[in-house]
């Protein structure tokens, strides 16, 4: 066997494994996207025909029952991390990625946030759902459905966790980052219901819209990487 033939063995042996991983990633991402789309459409239809009123009122009242001055301050702070705080964090993350020469990560973040912004504004104006009467803060000027805080928090903190863990080898640290991101995203959604500025269905819809957008980006990115690998380093 020549040296040239030997060089082909590892590539041939690993190709099926890489193809399986690629196909699994794409199928999983597309499955999440389709499922999120159907669930969002189902909730959106319920909101449009006022079928979520009982659910929203029950959860809203139950969450409000835990209200206290200290908890209210904490929820306002957590909500900030899904609004102005998130905007500042997104800008800083892009600057940090560029300074570290992580251009792909910076592009990922910019595309994610811009897409989330377009999605949020489009859906809010499409449904025109009025805000509920807030418990502790002024009424926001935008429409209620879906929750922008929920949508942006899942997009930003979820994608940030994914980009960081790709660079980290420690399995324990990866789990810690994903756990913190998940808890923060959940807390931001809960804070919006606690403060009374969103219905629970708004928050759920925001998460679903974010899942649809991010999973679609992941699938498209996997396809792009696969095509780049197939074309070779010289292409």
pLDDT, residue 8, reads: 46
Task: Give Cα separations from 76 to 70, 153, 197 (angstroms).
Answer: 10, 15, 11
Residue with the bigger pLDDT between 14 and 189: it is 189
- CA-nearest of 210, 173, 228, 200 to 18 is 228
pLDDT at 223 > cutoff 90: no
Check whether 216 has a pLDDT greater than 50. Answer: yes
Show Cβ contacts of residue 143 under 8 Å, excluding neighbours closer than 6 positions.
124, 125, 127, 128, 129, 130, 131
Query: What is the C-alpha separation between 121 and 143, in angstroms, rounded?
Result: 9
In the structure encoding, which two tokens stand for residue 58, read together? 């029950």
Confidence of residue 134 (pLDDT cuts 50, 70, 90): very high
Considering only CA atoms, which of 82, 91, 73 is closest in space to residue 158?
82
More confident residue, 30 or 174: 174
pLDDT above 60: residue 3: no
**pLDDT confidence tier of residue 94, bands split at 50, 70 and 90:** very high
Q: pLDDT band for 20, please (50, 70, 90 cuts).
A: low
Do the Cβ atoms of 56 and 200 come closer than 8 Å?
A: yes
Q: What is the three-class DSSP state of 50?
A: coil
- Name the token pair of 120: 């949020």
Averaged confidence pLDDT in the chain: 87
162 vs 226, higher pLDDT: 162
pLDDT for res 4: 47
- Is the whole model's pTM more than 0.75, yes or no? yes
* Stretch 162-168: mean pLDDT: 88
Average pLDDT over residues 190-194: 96
Supply 200's token pair: 């629970």
Residue 21 has pLDDT above 70, yes or no: no
- pLDDT > 90 fraction of the chain, expressed in percent and rounded: 69
Query: How sure is the predictor about 218, in pLDDT bands with cuts at 50, 70 and 90?
Result: confident
Q: What is the Cβ-side half-sphere exposure of residue 204, based on CA atoms within 13 angstroms? A: 17
Name which of 3-17, 41-55, 160-174, 191-205 the model is least confident about. 3-17
The whole-number average pLDDT for the span 196-212 is: 96
Helix ranges, the chain (H): 3-48, 53-64, 69-80, 84-99, 103-127, 148-165, 171-195, 200-231
């Amino acid at each position: 066997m020549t040296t040239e033939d030997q060089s082909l063995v590892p590539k041939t042996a690993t190709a099926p494994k890489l193809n399986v991983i690629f196909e699994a990633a794409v199928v999983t991402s597309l499955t999440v996207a389709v499922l999120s789309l159907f669930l969002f459409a189902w909730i959106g239809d319920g909101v449009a025909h006022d079928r979520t009123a009982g659910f929203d009122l029950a959860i809203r009242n139950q969450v409000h029952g835990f209200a206290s001055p200290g908890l209210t301050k904490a929820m306002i702070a957590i909500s900030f991390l899904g609004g102005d705080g998130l905007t500042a964090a997104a800008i800083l993350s892009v600057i940090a990625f560029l300074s570290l020469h992580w251009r792909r990560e910076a592009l990922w973040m910019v595309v994610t946030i811009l897409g989330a912004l377009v999605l949020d504004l489009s859906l809010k104006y499409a449904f025109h759902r009025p805000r509920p009467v807030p418990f502790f803060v002024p009424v926001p000027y935008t429409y209620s459905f879906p929750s922008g805080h929920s949508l942006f928090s899942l997009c930003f903190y979820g994608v940030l966790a994914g980009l960081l863990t790709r660079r980290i080898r420690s399995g324990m640290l990866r789990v810690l980052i994903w756990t913190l991101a998940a808890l923060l995203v959940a807390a931001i959604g809960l804070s919006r219901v606690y403060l009374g500025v969103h219905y629970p269905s708004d928050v759920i819809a925001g998460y679903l819209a974010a899942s649809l957008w991010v999973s679609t980006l992941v699938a498209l990115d996997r396809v792009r990487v696969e095509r780049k690998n197939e074309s070779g380093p010289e292409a």
